[in-house]
Structures are given as structure tokens and as C-alpha cells.
Amino acid sequence: MENFLRRKFLMLLLLLWVCLCAVTATVTYDHKAIVINGHRKILISGSIHYPRSTPQMWPELIQKAKDGGLDVIQTYVFWNGHEPTPGKYYFEDRYDLVKFIKVVHQAGLYVHLRIGPFVCAEWNFGGFPVWLKYVPGIAFRTDNEPFKAAMQNFTEKIVSMMKAEKLFQTQGGPIILSQARI
């Protein structure tokens, strides 16, 4: 039970940190609905995992989602694809997260960005990079300093990229929700 509470506390701290890194939000909740720019919204969301298709396929997949009635595209950020070795990042081809989010934005949809680090989507090693298991003293998905340090580095990288590209809704971008899952 104590580990469960620690995980929940760590998750809340990470989520708070992500929220504080963003500019003052125009996305709120009024106990009845999500409010975006002062307007209540009932949002219908669906998942598209960008690395499972090619960038050439993204516009058509996103348009089909929109035509099917979706307002929000939810996607994980796949740590093992983006940081295959410690400190060396990859954001090209089917791992071009910024491009994917911009294509979603061009279609007029919102984004729910699930930064991870855990990916619950039938993805190898839960989305964790393999090198992570060789970090001395690491214990996955726990209140563990080596794990938290590695996770913080990756999370900060993603949040900084999104902010630099002005992809958060408060900056005019499509990201209305970001989430950490430990």
C-alpha cells in the first residue's frame, strides 16, 4: 500500500511539474465539463500512435479520425524510440513527434499528449529504453532516485520541445492535456 501511495504521489508531483512548465492554461474543468477558452466542450478522443504508421499516412489517419467524430487525438510519447541510448535523442521519420502534432493541429483537432514514461499500448518493454535497466540501482515505476532522474530528463526534454514549438494550447497549439503515467 505504501508503494502504491508513493507512486500516486510521484505521479501527482510530475503532473504538477508539467502543468507549471506550461503557460497559464486556458483549459479548465468546471465540475461539469472541460472548458476551453471559456467554452464548455464534450470531447471525443481516440488514439493514434505515430510510430505505428509512416508520416505519409498521418494526414489520412487523422482526417479519418476527424470524419469519425473525434475532437482529440491521444498519443503516447515512446521513450525507447526517442532515446535509444542515454542522452542521444531521435525525432525523425515515424518518430517525428513535433510533425505529428502539427499535422493533428492542421486538421483542427486537439492533442492529449501522454508523455509516459510508461506506455500501456502493447509496446516493447512498456516504452522504457532498454539501456535504463542497466542504470545502477534502478527500480522501475517506483519512488527510486535513478528512475526519477532518468524520467525527469526525458520529460523535461519533451515538455521543452513542445513549448519551443508552441504546441501547448495556451501558446496557440493543439495540446490541451498532457499526462504522465508511471
pLDDT of residue 7: 52
pLDDT of residue 25: 52
Class of the domain covering 43-180: alpha beta
Q: In one letter, which amino acid is 28?
A: T
pLDDT < 50: residue spans in the chain: 5, 8-23
pLDDT of residue 129: 92
In the chain, domain spans: 1-42, 43-180
Cell of 94: 515515424
